[in-house]
A = this chain, B = another copy of it.
Amino acid sequence: MITTDTSAPRRANSPLKLGELLALNRESADALLHASSGPRDDSRELIASFRNTRTFSNRLCEPLEVEDYVIQSMPEASPMKWHLAHTSWFFETFILKPHFKGYASSHPEYNFLFNSYYNAVGPFHARPQRGLLSRPTVKNALEYRTEVDALVTELLENADEEKLLELKPLIILGVNHEQQHQELMLTDLKHMFAQNPLHPVYCPNALTASGDVQSMAWIPFDGGLHRIGHDGEAFAYDNEGPSHQVVIGSFAMASRLVTNQEYEAFIEDGGYERPDLWLSLGWNAVNEKNWKAPLYWEKCDGKWRQFTLHGVENLSPDEPVGHISYFEADAFARWAGARLATEAEWELASEGVPIAGHFVDDELFKPIAAKLGDGIYAPTQMFGDLWEWTRSSYSPYPGYKTTDGALGEYNGKFMCNQYVLRGGSCATSQSHIRRTYRNFFPPDARWQFSGIRLTRDTQ
């Protein structure tokens, strides 16, 4: 049984904290909501979606001190402050500048600082140097958010039907973009806190799980000609389409994610010392980076403990093992006499599985053990908890075309030397994920909430 004391408040802000500003921001968002009770449902819904997403970014910052917003603990991560400003820059650049009549940026220098990688928008501040900026301050970044929020709302409220049609896909893209950054805020913050010998706690109230975990079963799937990829009118990223047919062989997929206990058995069996289990580049990584366990595990007095957003905890044997690289997932699967799924297999297996599970909406900030009784007829933990590495290299679907202009840089140019992950994690928004959703990271990345699901051929 899983319990959590949800009545306990999130950590109170110290007097020095940005609490009031964050609240102010939320209030202004609330104000937006009421202000937007216009005649057109579409506009109202769009504004609500925009408002909720923007507010949730602020909510994730509530436990933070000003100092926590500034640091970049590795080149792949960004400071919290940057995430808050960049997501605002995205709305400013792709919505306010082209669509808000007479718009003049009050911070033209932000276009250089908070452009992530859109060459078509102009030159940008180098990624590994994001942690060198003490200014603009956190307060400035929050004010920037407030400004952008107000103007986007004004734009939406005053838009006629035609304009709204034009704006809608951009707002939805911006919302999805911000949801992605919310996930990164949590993973970047976790990485930064993990470097601190004091091990700061993001959220003091951790969920505790008790009782039995389901044993892993194999769910069989028939091969054949199947259609994968996104189709239809609902929002999806361009990399999810075009929908197309693929040939899939018969296979069986594990009923749940691999657990900490199962991964410990791999370690104890010399998993990190046997080159035969690893891809050649994986074996290099093990040796160069001196990997002996998943990221955030550390051995104290002969027992593994792990750093989480709730602090350092004893390893819970039944929880899914996370912060795993593709190399480790692949090696574990080989050790277990199985393999990782292709993304097509995963998509087939997820057919009919409801988009339910543990998402960031629950504010648990960690994956949860699979419940006994689930995973008998269909795989469980497919959505939420942990992203699942597939063995599919991230590459364009047949007929894939990038969008024209800057937004064409969103996905296509990253299709090289990365591997596809599916299903979302405990840091993903429920409304963000889909069966066809393709996340992607380099094979040595371990700072995501990423885990392992086994697959095997059947005949």
Contact indicator per residue, chain A 166-209, by CB within 8 Å of chain B (1) or not (0):
00000000000000000000000000110111101000000000
Asked if A137 is at the interface (CB within 8 A of a chain B CB), the reply is: yes
What copy number does this chain have within its complex? 4
- Other-chain contact of A71, B134, B246, B443 (Cβ < 8 Å): B134
Do A134 and B196 touch (CB < 8 A)? yes
Do B67 and A125 touch (CB < 8 A)? no
Asked if A129 is at the interface (CB within 8 A of a chain B CB), the reply is: yes
> Which residues 249-294 of A sit at the B interface, judged by CB distance below 8 A?
249, 275-276, 278-283
Do B280 and A129 touch (CB < 8 A)? no
Do A134 and B416 touch (CB < 8 A)? no
* Cα–Cα distance between A69 and B409 once the two chains are bound (Å): 36
Do B16 and A139 touch (CB < 8 A)? yes
- Other-chain contact of A134, B65, B245, B247, B409 (Cβ < 8 Å): B65
Do A69 and B67 touch (CB < 8 A)? yes
Do A134 and B417 touch (CB < 8 A)? no
Smallest CB gap from A109: residue in B:
B198
> Which residues 51-72 of A sit at the B interface, judged by CB distance below 8 A?
65-71
Asked if A244 is at the interface (CB within 8 A of a chain B CB), the reply is: yes
Do A197 and B70 touch (CB < 8 A)? no
Smallest CB gap from A413: residue in B:
B280
* Cα–Cα distance between A119 and B277 once the two chains are bound (Å): 11
* Cα–Cα distance between A115 and B112 once the two chains are bound (Å): 38
A67 with B65, Cβ < 8 A, contacts A139-B16, A280-B413, A414-B280 known: no
- Other-chain contact of A196, B16, B135, B393, B415 (Cβ < 8 Å): B135
A225 with B247, Cβ < 8 A, contacts A119-B276, A137-B67, A276-B120 known: yes
Do B65 and A249 touch (CB < 8 A)? no
Do B399 and A395 touch (CB < 8 A)? no
- Other-chain contact of A16, B66, B133, B443 (Cβ < 8 Å): B66
Asked if A98 is at the interface (CB within 8 A of a chain B CB), the reply is: no
- Other-chain contact of A249, B133, B138, B399 (Cβ < 8 Å): B399
- B residues near A417, Cβ cutoff 8 Å: 281, 417, 443
Do B73 and A71 touch (CB < 8 A)? no
Asked if A398 is at the interface (CB within 8 A of a chain B CB), the reply is: yes
Do A113 and B249 touch (CB < 8 A)? no
- B residues near A279, Cβ cutoff 8 Å: 413-416
Contact indicator per residue, chain A 379-398, by CB within 8 Å of chain B (1) or not (0):
00000000000011101101
**Apart from A67-B69, A135-B200, A417-B443, 11 more pairs, CB < 8 Å:** A14-B139, A66-B67, A67-B81, A112-B197, A119-B276, A246-B246, A246-B247, A279-B414, A280-B413, A342-B398, A392-B395
| 28 A-B pairs (CB sep. < 8 Å) | A14-B137, A65-B134, A66-B66, A66-B67, A67-B69, A67-B81, A71-B131, A71-B132, A73-B132, A131-B131, A132-B195, A133-B196, A133-B198, A134-B196, A135-B200, A225-B247, A244-B249, A249-B398, A276-B408, A279-B413, A279-B416, A280-B414, A280-B416, A281-B417, A283-B413, A326-B416, A342-B398, A399-B457
